[in-house]
Amino acid sequence: MEKTAVSPQKKYLIWMLLVLLTAVCLRLFALTAAPPGLTHDEADHGITALSIVKGARHIYFTIGYGREPLFDYATALLMAVTRPTFLGGRLTAVFFSLIMISGMSAWVRRAFDRQTAVFTAASLAVSFWPVMTARQSLRSITLPALFVLAVYLFWRGLTQSENTISHPKAQAQSKKTTPYFLASGFILGLTFYTYIPARILWLIFPVTVVYAVGQNRDLCRRIGLQTLAMLTTALLTALPLLLYLLRHPEAESRIGQLSQPLRAAASGDYTLLGHNIIEGLSIIAMTGDSYWRYNISGQPLLPLPFAVLFLVGLFLASWWISQGLFVNAKRQKQREKKLRNLRLNKKQMPAASFLAVGWLILGVSPVLVTGAQLSTTQAIGMQPVLYLFPALALRQGIRWLSQQNKQRERWAYAALLLLLAGTAVLTSHRYFQVWANHPDVRVEYETTLVTAMQVLNKSGQGTTTAPTTLHAGISTITPHPAHSPAVAEMTLHNPNVTLSWFNGQNSLLLPSSETSTIVYPGFTPLNPALEPYFETAVLDTSLPMRDTDLDKPLNFYQVDRNQMRQQWGSQFLTDKPVFFAENAQFLGYDVHTPTARPGDTFSIATWWEAKRPFADGVLFTQILGNDNTAIAQADYLDVPSDLWQIGDQFIQLHQITLPADMPPGTYPIIIGLYSCPQNCPAEIPPQPIPTSTGANFYTLPMQLTVTNE
């Protein structure tokens, strides 16, 4: 009985199925536990997606430093049918990662061959960088996923146009390629809604067309108009976002930060840009991103075996590009014969190689400006094509061995499988054991805060009586809305818990409930200067966390509001009630250093009650000179006014260093509130919050005495 041969197409599909199954396993395993918590960036994406589920419809989201919206809309679709948790964002990232692998394989199969496509997809499936980016709820993963689809559709149109040049009905045949160009343009336009590097990656398409026309001038008329139609479609698709950003340049604060090296170079200082270029070029094979949030610090994108193969593949691609430009007709036929023997797409190789190298250059270019730090996200545009070059080297090597000896070819395939399997094992170890458990990573992913939310999620469980509301005050180093509160919103699922936020390093919060819980992590313990105001609190639970954790322990205190208010009433000097508009009431003050010497630190605690939240609040304390101008001051508020719960009371500690040449005498002290939008840039001055008398500040009844004694 004769054996039925398996067709190359079926082999390709079987191998791709195995590759995708491997990719799914590495991306879904323990997805809620690794990463080990949640970054504020991931949480912000989750909050934005939830707002979309609830009806928000924005073309650009200004939360954080500003973000393109496509990832959040995709996450919202998933959240609409699942629980509104951070897992929705991570599953969305996994989905886009699988699209990227599949799309890249589809293009490489057409541009090169099936084996190269499988090798590329397998490398993307098991390598550390693609696995890392696939498991994070960040918008950056959407860029390579959509871009490879645009490349695939563009390539279908380009190659079919080339193949129909000599067709007797060439004009009719060309119409069949137009939908590919238009679809590619539409998806290319969508990439502008994904991540900033899309604004430069699109250049590879017109440049590749110029190269292809240089190879075959008959293509010029055929694909010139189609390419123009493609780019026009992309522009029209991206136009709403581009117009919004032109009208609201302040929405992209991140652009100003990232462009600093270019501005310095424009002024004649190339030091920073030169340093970043050297760093950026080293991320592939030498020294990578040092930021633990997205990488094992310093680990390059490619391990040594893949780095060597990458260089070989890059050399091969560069050689094929040159062959496409500088060969005569006789040598062209010889080259095509060699490529045919290697079972590669002989006509497409130079243009495909050109597109790949150009894609690589444009993809890495943002990192050449910004440097290695955070390069794992900023270079993500080149992620799919980076793994093509090792695949080209492997494909070339295996085919060469097959011509020498079939036995060697089998050994080569066995070695390749061992390389990929070893890479999968190494990636699993480095990601799940090394990276996910590193102390810096657990800090970046706010593991201590997530642990606190897990404790609060269990509050009231197991009781037979109706659950009661728990009001908890959370001390954190980042208490503002887009940071720790965002992480809590995505991890706290107990509807009976209300949260208030403060930074315990310089403030103390008393929630409005009769009894409440105050949570202090290791990073923001109670300031010793505030300890006298916290004497009535009772330590209820102390979680030690891991021995290797940096943010530890995690302490839970029980507070009785009446007892603590009585204590504060005996410690603070009070005057007549002072209201700052309808936002806050000043209740009293306690001067720790009523007498000081020049150069000393003046310390004062002020007592407040939140009446109505308002955006971007800042509390100031100023020491006035003889001309009523401030000679020393402190401006900060560690209980964010955006998140005030009505009735909460808090103490703000201001510690002010006095000038060393401050003359002896007595000095008035004033306090007040103002709103400081966007950190008060020059064009947006602070907005004072007036008192009930119309003044912009309140003068304390006491004065500071400065003496040389």
DSSP 380-423: GGGHHHHTHHHHHHHHHHHHHHHHH-HHHHHHHHHHHHHHHHHH
Q: What is the 3-state secondary structure (H, E, C) of 77-108?
A: HHHCCCCCCHHHHHHHHHHHHHHHHHHHHHHH
CA dihedral (376, 377, 382, 383) in degrees, to 10, reads 60
- At position 239, the amino acid (one-letter code) is L
Per-position DSSP letters for 414-466, written without gaps between them: HHHHHHHHHHHHHHHIIIIIIITT-HHHHHHTTHHHHHHHHHHHTTTTT-SSP
Helix 142-163 to helix 70-79 angle (10° resolution) is 110
| 537-551 confidence digits (pLDDT tens) | 999 999 999 999 999
Per-position DSSP letters for 296-307, written without gaps between them: STT--SS-HHHH
Give the chain's count of helices (H) and strands (E).
25, 16
How much is the pTM? Answer: 0.90
* CA 662 – CA 111 distance, rounded (Å): 75
CA dihedral (177, 182, 184, 186) in degrees, to 10, reads -170
Q: How far is CA 691 from CA 208, 384, 605, 688, 697, in A?
A: 65, 59, 19, 9, 7
* CA 89 – CA 79 distance, rounded (Å): 8
pLDDT of residue 3: 56
pLDDT of residue 344: 46
* CA 635 – CA 641 distance, rounded (Å): 14
* CA 388 – CA 376 distance, rounded (Å): 18
Q: How far is CA 69 from CA 61, 81, 184, 341, 593, in A?
A: 6, 19, 20, 47, 51
* CA 325 – CA 215 distance, rounded (Å): 6
- Domains of the chain, by residue range, sit at 24-253+288-430, 446-458+468-567, 572-706
* CA 25 – CA 592 distance, rounded (Å): 59
Contacts of 688 by beta carbon, 8 Å cutoff, 6+ apart: 672, 673, 674, 696, 697
Per-position DSSP letters for 116-176, written without gaps between them: HHHHHHHHHHHSHHHHHHHTS--GGGHHHHHHHHHHHHHHHHHHHHHHTTT-TTHHHHHHH
**Nearest Cα to 638, choosing from 476, 410, 523, 462?**
476
| 273-298 confidence digits (pLDDT tens) | 888 899 889 999 999 999 999 999 99
Extract the tokens encoding 470: 């728990």
CA dihedral (601, 606, 612, 614) in degrees, to 10, reads -10
**Number of residues that make up the chain:** 709
**Chain-centre distance of CA 25, in angstroms?**
23
**Nearest Cα to 366, choosing from 376, 351, 378?**
378
Assign 567 to helix, strand or coil. helix
In this prediction, the residues of the chain whose per-residue pLDDT falls under 70 are: 1-5, 162-175, 218, 254, 256-258, 326-347, 404, 406, 461-467, 678-683
* CA 286 – CA 306 distance, rounded (Å): 12
- At position 562, the amino acid (one-letter code) is N
How are beta strands 595-596 and 698-706 bridged, if at all?
parallel
Extract the tokens encoding 533: 């105001």
* CA 688 – CA 206 distance, rounded (Å): 53
pLDDT of residue 467: 56
What is the percent of the chain where pLDDT is above 90? Answer: 73
110: enclosing H helix or E strand = helix 86-111
**Nearest Cα to 553, choosing from 576, 530, 577, 520?**
520
What is the CATH T-level fold of the domain 572-706, as seen in this structure? Immunoglobulin-like (2.60.40)
pLDDT of residue 678: 67
* CA 278 – CA 37 distance, rounded (Å): 33
Q: Report the sign of the C-alpha dihedral through residues 35, 37, 40, 42, in that order.
A: positive
